[in-house]
Amino acid sequence: MKAMPDAPDKKNRPPAVVLLSGGLDSATVLAIARDRGFACHALTFDYGQRHRLELDAARRIADKLGAAGHRIIRLDLTADAGLGRSALTDSIEVPRDRRDDGQIPVTYVPARNTIFLSLALARAEVLGAWDIFLGVNAIDYSGYPDCRPEFIEQFQRLANLATAAADGPGRFAVHAPLVHMTKAEIIRTGLALGVDYSLTHSCYAPAEDGAACGHCDACRLRLAGFRDADATDPAPYQPPAS
């Protein structure tokens, strides 16, 4: 997979690393970071996810939103590597129309955000960037422990203790601008910043042609968000079962 080369920062904008999954939230975060004046170096992970459509979506979004660079890092977080235990990476059925029972869902990938942020931190050191952006959310999230504000705060503390760069004059900041926003607020923000949500992919169980299922946690949150934002979701959905 060919990564977008790093481009020279325009007008000396400060660099930032932006985690870009290809989904609605990460696309919005990339637009927010760009709007705040950063030269955005997008970072996407090919971690053995069952559905690769999000990698293509990430490429489209990075190009459309003018990322200064886009790199795709290969990892193996599957059962074959001894790291899998998720419906997103292994042969576990994705729940449909799941009731929120307060339990961590089977779509949780063990330690995923910790792993991703660690690599984003390394990338930031290489780039000389002090800012890392990601799209975690604590309101509309589906029960993932690594989407909590406390996790982000603790990782930022770690970043400023565990790196060579942190011994210098700067301080790392981990930005989670969506963490306290509803899905509708996220969508309104993205639309105002010119995000084309037809480029994004959210579904955990898409059809072969990419059409979303409409019943997994990600689809249900997305559909409810567009409804509450009085906007139309441009994603294609599978027809209801007859």
CATH of the domain at 16: 3.40.50.620
Q: How far apart are CA 107 and CA 122, in angstroms?
A: 26
Q: Is residue 52 part of a domain?
A: yes
Strands 15-19 and 131-133: parallel
User: Which residue do the tokens 């576990």 mark?
Assistant: 92
For residue 25 the two structure tokens come to 């939230």
Give the model confidence (pLDDT) of 182-223 as tens digits: 999 999 999 999 999 999 999 999 998 999 999 999 999 999
Q: Is residue 79 part of a domain?
A: yes
Average pLDDT, the chain: 90
Give the model confidence (pLDDT) of 111-170 as tens digits: 899 999 999 999 999 999 999 999 999 876 557 888 889 999 999 999 999 999 878 888
Q: Is residue 59 part of a domain?
A: yes
**Alpha-carbon torsion (159, 165, 168, 173), positive or negative:** negative
What is the domain range of residue 158? 10-196
Give the model confidence (pLDDT) of 34-62 as tens digits: 999 999 999 999 988 988 899 999 999 99
Q: Is residue 223 part of a domain?
A: no
Q: Is residue 239 part of a domain?
A: no
Distance from the Cα of residue 62 to its chain's centroid = 12
Q: Is residue 230 part of a domain?
A: no
Q: Which pLDDT score, from 0 to 100, does residue 131 have?
A: 98
Strands 15-19 and 39-46: parallel
Q: How far apart are CA 237 and CA 240, in angstroms?
A: 9
Find out whether 88 and 21 touch, Cβ atoms under 8 Å: no
| Residue 192 CB neighbour total at 10 angstroms | 10
| Single-letter amino acid code for the residue at 112 | R
Q: How far apart are CA 165 and CA 47, in angstroms?
A: 27
pLDDT > 90: what percent of the chain? 68
Domain count, the chain: 1
Q: Is residue 217 part of a domain?
A: no
For residue 240 the two structure tokens come to 């209801």
- Give, rounded to a whole angstrom, the gap between the first and last alpha carbons of the chain: 39
Angle at 214 between CA 213 and CA 216, to 5 degrees: 80
Q: How far apart are CA 153 and CA 143, in angstroms?
A: 18
User: DSSP 3-state assignment of 71?
Assistant: strand
**Between residues 165 and 236, which one has the greater pLDDT?**
236
Q: Is residue 86 part of a domain?
A: yes
